[in-house]
A and B are shown apart, each in its own frame.
Chain A
């Protein structure tokens, strides 16, 4: 279904390119197989890992990281990076928790933050409609529309939050918060031209701070059976799969996906072909924010509590999954399946190290070593090929 590793430069010769493509598809799976094979040398791993009891645990453990890595893939493919996903996850999580339980009450500013993407979308639609008739509409008009929409939607949301939301509503609220953070990241990076590292580092700090500020640093208990089923067994698996399939389709079957890759390949050239680089770059960050919020729903549902410290270090796990999956941090190539396999590989490594009983301090050393080694071998292969 996927033609993974779509490179933006179309100049390469056909046969070579096809060979490279086949390898790129197999590559991430090879790494996963190799890791499993190496661990299988250990008797305890053989006895415990390859069982019907344990294999599903691997998915349960990596579900959240798979979702985050899919979003991260889009950003990395544009040549950017998103360091804010862990903090955005926490903010979306407590947002959902407060919307559901009402303890502590959700602050009104959170409703206005969640209203931002809706207002922005509204302005975009109006602009598209007007552009057909009006060559240049005054910026004041758009600003006016934005302010009105933001105020109306924000007030409606704030009112709805006061009464407490149903589970579905609270999930939508969480997703809106995630999208809102992603949209801000995207706009600052693409229109503000602030480097992605700086922008998302700032958002990482801001979202974590807002998480603590909104909840007065208290974790939120969210013990709703209807929500909690989402974090277990099959539902979690289905949500993660849906995100992977959705991401793959978007990347391979829609123009937006091709543009994202093209921007990472050569931004200037893409701009010259008339593609709105700003739009599609923003889209990548928006998707990353959305995935962070989906991750928040999964984690909150699983543990029945929205921790203010949730997702600490999650951005690094997601980046590691993307990289170990074979997507280049310089952008322009990669596939969503890479992210899936990468996330699974990371989980196999971390849980494998526990299974075979490696000393805690050494576990980190080995994980870090494997990540660097994988990318190092990739680089050697590229230089030769």
Chain B
């Protein structure tokens, strides 16, 4: 999985490309938690090019969200493909995370 990192108005934007599963989740966890431990509190994950997520990926997102909550931070997601949204829905994630249709909406809300 490829991860690109940009920043806009103090918000870190991570663009995920490929598959977030048990093969790639450990590296992504290090990256995401590393940013949070470094003090970043506002993050948006852009899933426009994310093709696949499994429970290993969901676990990383929850872990990051819990870490951020301790620091009054915020984690939002945008641009979910239908398949990713389906997994979020069946896992109950849609009621837990802010999810937006576009990156702009996520940035405005963050």
**Co-complex (A, B):** no
Chain B contacts to A: CB under 8 angstroms? none
Binding site for B on A (CB under 8 A): none
